[in-house]
Amino acid sequence: MFDVTVVGGGVIGCAVARELTRRDLAVALVEARNDVGAGTSKANTAILHTGFDATPGSTESRLVARGYELLRAYAPNAGISVEETGAVLVAWDDEQAESLPTLAAKAAANNYMHAEVIDAKEVRGLEPHLGDGVTGGMVVPGEHLVDPWTTPIAFATEAILNGCQLFTGFAVASCRVNADSTTLVAADGRVLRTRYVVNAAGLHGDTLHQLFGYTGFTIRPRRGELIVFDKLARPLLRHTILPVPTAHTKGVLVAPTVFGNIMLGPTADDISDRSATGSTKAGIDALLMKGRRILPALLDEEVTAVYAGLRAATEHSDYQLSAHADNRYVCLGGIRSTGLTSSMAVAEEAVTLLSSIGLTMTMRDVGQLRDVRMTPLGETDERPYQRGGAVICHCERVTAKEIEAAVLSTVPASDIDGLRRRTRVLAGRCQGFYCAANVCALAAKASGRSMSEWMGVP
Amino acid sequence: MIDVAIVGAGPAGLSAAIELRRRGVGRVVVFERELFAGGIPRHSAHLGYGARDMHRITTGPRYAALLTRRAEKAGVEIEVGRSVTDFAQLSARAVLLATGVRERPRSARLVPGDRPAGVLTTGSLQQFATLHHQRVGNRAVVVGAEHVSFSAVLTLAHTGCRVAAMVTALPHHQTYPLLRLATAGRHRVPIHTGVDIAEIVGRTRVEAVVLTDGRRIACDTVVFTGDWIPDHELARAGGLPMLLVAKAPIVDASWHTQQQGVFAIGNLIHPAETADVCALDGRAVAEHVIDWLTVGSWPAAVAAVEVAAPIQWAATSAIGVTFRVDEFVTGSVAASNGSELLHQTKRKKWIPNRAYHLPRLRDCRQLTFKR
Ligand SMILES: Cc1cc2nc3c(=O)[nH]c(=O)nc-3n(C[C@H](O)[C@H](O)[C@H](O)COP(=O)(O)OP(=O)(O)OC[C@H]3O[C@@H](n4cnc5c(N)ncnc54)[C@H](O)[C@@H]3O)c2cc1C
Ligand SMILES: Cc1cc2nc3c(=O)[nH]c(=O)nc-3n(C[C@H](O)[C@H](O)[C@H](O)COP(=O)(O)OP(=O)(O)OC[C@H]3O[C@@H](n4cnc5c(N)ncnc54)[C@H](O)[C@@H]3O)c2cc1C
């Protein structure tokens, strides 16, 4: 019997599990897929948001600002790469330029005091490769880049090292709330007993909410397609280039990544299928058109990856966080487009919500707790190949040792996508032309599973 | 001090190294990032290697092994597992780039859809099949219909994978009729022309591809073939200017790049020729490298051969000026030095994705096409 079970191993659920294991609690983390961080948390734009453009006074505004501080402090020791680039928000017509002072005031209302409106010439001075037609801009010096892949895995690893039990392939299908415990039943029939439940099910947050008998929000997935350009494009940019946001979306940005690429996106399409993470011709075409205007030289470079992520948008603009004493249940829903940044603050909030409905807990001795130290994946950190060893993936410079380690780690990679998120292997420009076979062979050897399993051969 | 540092131990780099040693150059070191020398032929298990340089026809792996042995015998130092990412890592009197070519993967071709397992290139397919003896799937669609696409059909058939179809956006396939017959013909593979892949379907494993004409082909594997892109990252890191369409470093008729002391050969500069032509590049560049080592002069200007549509690009190879067209077209190609005609060739059918050669010409600066 667990004290708390967190449903959903995205960045939110992993952060919550980590926070809970710092207390004297028996914690379980259940995830429907075979790995953590494999849903929306792996497919975003990976900006560490300051929250300058949030709705002042909202829960999101508060938790993004707090999460920003927490993650910045946590990242260096945990091996999560953060690259301090800052952002320039760029206006492309007069109307947008006129809205800049309002945006600066909004930033101040969000307690972000470093945003500064600049003129078109200054924008060009900062980013000489931008396209024609810039009418003004605003610098947001604290808007940085973070490694989205390592973040949830680091949280989960630390949670497990401190006693959390991870159940993968456990898709909660139904629940029975009894007097002093709740039974969660997985689609495959496995059951798990727990006193408290935290809903961190992302795109399925509303479904789980309903299982516990609540309504109040409905997820309407908003798809964001993204194009990642070759590392040879990286010198074209110094900052993240943000558009003037609209009510609907933060808009299409051009941003460097901690892996040394340039990313263009995301689009924002309201769809109904919660698993439609495919890219579309319309999306790609729209992005290329925008990209050509923002950073024309970008389009001369090769594309390394195209992908899409689904935001857990709802009919509300704010996060949907709530605590329900009757069912000993906490909901962390509707965390749409800032959850990577806010995750650690949402975890703190979850603790507060749990204690508000009667869960008592005390902090464990710091001396009893184990830290996590992942191998950083970002270009600003030192990477293993720089210390020598046989490189298997030439594009991303991944060593054989890293692949073996990822297969044998605390939260082990179980497929190629998991390996990619732990090492960057196969994430580069050749997409496996050179190394796919060698990578599968190495993973097979290290894991004792067959090569065709790693290849996904039917 | 290294006399000549060669990057890439494929047919081009190894052949250059052998020839340099044969002509008495002291220290010739080949840096290869893979753990074995030989380049692409190492995993290209079918016949078709060595015709023009060794005057025999053998398989890729045999050819790679033979070249490697000859290089070792000739006293070439081969350093494997060494990925060169910056010219500054090479302290040598001359540098020779022979980093080869790869195929554009699905993402670089902007093919929409899901991102399931089962999407390959011929290069990765060959490695799974030849180096690791793996079956890759049961039913494949091959994207492309140029020479290498048909080699992919053979490799797939060899692993026991049925080929459901080949797909090319061009109006006809682009290989020799005999090669088509021996591969797609023999395995009864239909070739869908004039259509492209519109979408890949399948959440975890490929389930189908949808074509631009709406047809849906069930399959569990998709192999993207050809559509070459030079492995030019080192060349670009070193600041070498590139040809526009080919994205290959610009060289003159004796493979000098615009940077003093740096030469470039093989499929890095002409994506993609057959291996034997790359090997002949290697042999032919040796005398120019030795000139540089002994005389020390470098051409003042290194310019690309200018081309006009439907010619895509032109570059120097050992057997002449090599160029490509981007459509099926009738007409004549004329080479000039800017003012006078040097050579003219007429053909009823120029075929895209084929390598064409004009004889080696002095001072060829421009190719024009008359329909
Ligand atoms: C295009 C795009 C760009 C973004 N850009 C940024 C950005 O730049 N910065 C930023 O901070 N944020 C960004 N975000 C937002 C951020 O990615 C999300 O807020 C965050 O990933 C949400 O995490 P999560 O854990 O709530 O959801 P998820 O990552 O989706 O995790 C939920 C998990 O729950 C599991 N699950 C669901 N149902 C069940 C069940 N019944 N039983 C068991 N498990 C279940 C799922 O399998 C999944 O793994 C972006 C999002 C998108 C889509
Ligand atoms: C899938 C495929 C099938 C083919 N089939 C045929 C065929 O059937 N017949 C035929 O004649 N030709 C074929 N070719 C053409 C092939 O490219 C040539 O045969 C030949 O291998 C090219 O020779 P190369 O020396 O220029 O390059 P490659 O053989 O590609 O060798 C380049 C070498 O450089 C290394 N390298 C690259 N960058 C670096 C770096 N930065 N540092 C260190 N090392 C580096 C690579 O690892 C590689 O080993 C095929 C090509 C491909 C891709």
Same-domain status, A291 and A427:
no
Q: Phi first, then psi: give them for residue A335, nearest 5 degrees.
A: -90, 95
Same-domain status, A16 and A103:
no
Same-domain status, A172 and A202:
yes
Same-domain status, B149 and B67:
no
Residue ending a domain, choose from B205, B224, B243 = B224
| Residue to mutate, A29, A44, A145, A271, ligand 1, most ligand atoms under 8 Å from C-beta | A44
CATH at residue B171: 3.50.50.60
Same-domain status, B158 and B236:
no
Same-domain status, B164 and B60:
no
What's the CA dihedral at A168, A173, A178, A182 to 10 degrees? Answer: 20
Domain that holds residue B133: 106-224
A422 within domain boundaries: yes
Would the CA dihedral through B18, B24, B25, B27 be positive or negative? positive
Confidence at residue A280, expressed as pLDDT on a 0 to 100 scale: 98
HSE-CB at B96 with a 13 A cutoff on CA atoms is: 39
Q: Phi first, then psi: give them for residue A289, nearest 5 degrees.
A: -65, -45
Q: Tokens 């630390």, residue?
A: A158
Confidence at residue B187, expressed as pLDDT on a 0 to 100 scale: 96
Same-domain status, B288 and B310:
no
Q: What is the pTM of this model?
A: 0.97
Cβ pair A434:B137 closer than 8 A: no
* Cβ pair B66, B235 in contact under 8 A: no
Same-domain status, A38 and A107:
no
B301 within domain boundaries: no
Same-domain status, B232 and B94:
yes
Same-domain status, B141 and B211:
yes
Confidence at residue A129, expressed as pLDDT on a 0 to 100 scale: 98
The CA B235 to ligand 2 mean position distance, Å, reads 16
CA B296 to CA A93: how far, in whole Å?
A: 55
Same-domain status, B201 and B262:
no
Same-domain status, A240 and A307:
yes
CATH at residue A392: 1.10.10
Residue ending a domain, choose from A301, A333, A368 = A368
Same-domain status, A197 and A130:
no
Residue ending a domain, choose from A275, A290, A311 = A311
CA A113 to CA A51: how far, in whole Å?
A: 11
Same-domain status, B99 and B245:
yes
- Does B128 lie at the interface with A, CB-CB under 8 angstroms? yes
B361 within domain boundaries: yes
**Beta pairing class for B92-97 and B262-264:** parallel
Contacts of B107 in chain A (CB under 8 A): 303-306, 431
Number of domains in chain A: 3
Contacts of B47 (CB under 8 A, 6+ apart): B57, B58, B59
Looking at every residue in chain A, the average pLDDT score rounds to: 97
Same-domain status, A320 and A420:
no
Helical segments of B159-310, H only: 177-180, 233-237, 275-294
B281 within domain boundaries: yes
Identify residue A324 by its one-letter amino acid code. Answer: H
Cβ pair A394:B83 closer than 8 A: yes
CATH at residue A262: 3.30.9.10
Confidence at residue A250, expressed as pLDDT on a 0 to 100 scale: 81
Ligand 2 within 6 A of CB of B32: yes
Contacts of A132 (CB under 8 A, 6+ apart): none
Residue ending a domain, choose from B261, B294, B327 = B294
The distance between the two most distant Cα atoms of chain B, rounded to a whole number of Å, is: 62
Average pLDDT per 10 consecutive residues for chain A, totaling 458 residues: 98 98 98 97 96 97 98 98 98 96 97 98 98 98 98 98 98 96 98 98 98 97 98 98 86 97 97 96 98 97 98 97 98 97 98 98 96 97 93 97 97 97 98 97 98 96
The distance between the two most distant Cα atoms of chain A, rounded to a whole number of Å, is: 67
Query: Which of B305, B359, B367, B369 has its CA nearest to residue B332?
Result: B369
Confidence at residue B360, expressed as pLDDT on a 0 to 100 scale: 87
The number of the ligand nearest the C-alpha atom of A435 reads 2
Outline where DSSP puts E strands in A125-245: 136-140, 144-146, 165-168, 172-177, 182-186, 191-199, 222-229, 240-242
DSSP bridge pairs for B347: B331
Residue ending a domain, choose from B202, B224, B246 = B224
A55 within domain boundaries: no
Same-domain status, A175 and A196:
yes
Same-domain status, B271 and B214:
no
Which residues on chain A place their C-beta less than 8 Å from a C-beta of chain B?
A: 231-232, 275, 277-281, 283-284, 302-307, 390-391, 394, 397, 415-416, 429-434, 436-438, 440-441, 451-452, 455-458
How far A450 CA lies from chain B's nearest CA (Å)?
Answer: 10
Residue ending a domain, choose from A324, A344, A368 = A368
For A386, nearest residue in chain B (alpha carbons): B83
CA B33 to CA B233: how far, in whole Å?
A: 13
Same-domain status, A119 and A235:
yes
Neighbours of B364 (CB within 10 A): 22
Q: Phi first, then psi: give them for residue A392, nearest 5 degrees.
A: -100, -45
Confidence at residue B362, expressed as pLDDT on a 0 to 100 scale: 86
- Does B198 lie at the interface with A, CB-CB under 8 angstroms? yes
pLDDT digits (tens, 9 = 90+) for A32-41: 999 999 999 9
- The H or E element that residue B49 is part of is strand B47-49
A66 within domain boundaries: no
A291 within domain boundaries: yes
* Cβ pair B17, B6 in contact under 8 A: yes
Domain that holds residue A105: 82-145+220-311
Confidence at residue A146, expressed as pLDDT on a 0 to 100 scale: 98
Same-domain status, A240 and A114:
yes
pLDDT digits (tens, 9 = 90+) for B323-350: 999 999 999 999 999 999 999 999 999 9
Same-domain status, A296 and A430:
no
Same-domain status, A287 and A432:
no
Number of domains in chain B: 3
Confidence at residue A277, expressed as pLDDT on a 0 to 100 scale: 96
Angle at A414 between CA A413 and CA A419, to 5 degrees: 45
Respond yes or no on whether the N-terminal peptide bond of residue B272 is cis (omega within 30° of 0). Answer: yes
Whether B250 shows a pLDDT value over 80: the answer reads yes
Same-domain status, B68 and B49:
yes
A127 within domain boundaries: yes
Q: What is the DSSP code (8-state) at residue B363?
A: T
Q: Which atom of ligand 1 is nearest to the CA of A38?
A: 49
Ligand 1 within 6 A of CB of A15: no
Angle at B102 between CA B313 and CA B350, to 5 degrees: 35
Same-domain status, B320 and B290:
no
Closest by Cβ to A452, choosing from B35, B134, B229 = B134
B299 within domain boundaries: no
Same-domain status, B117 and B219:
yes
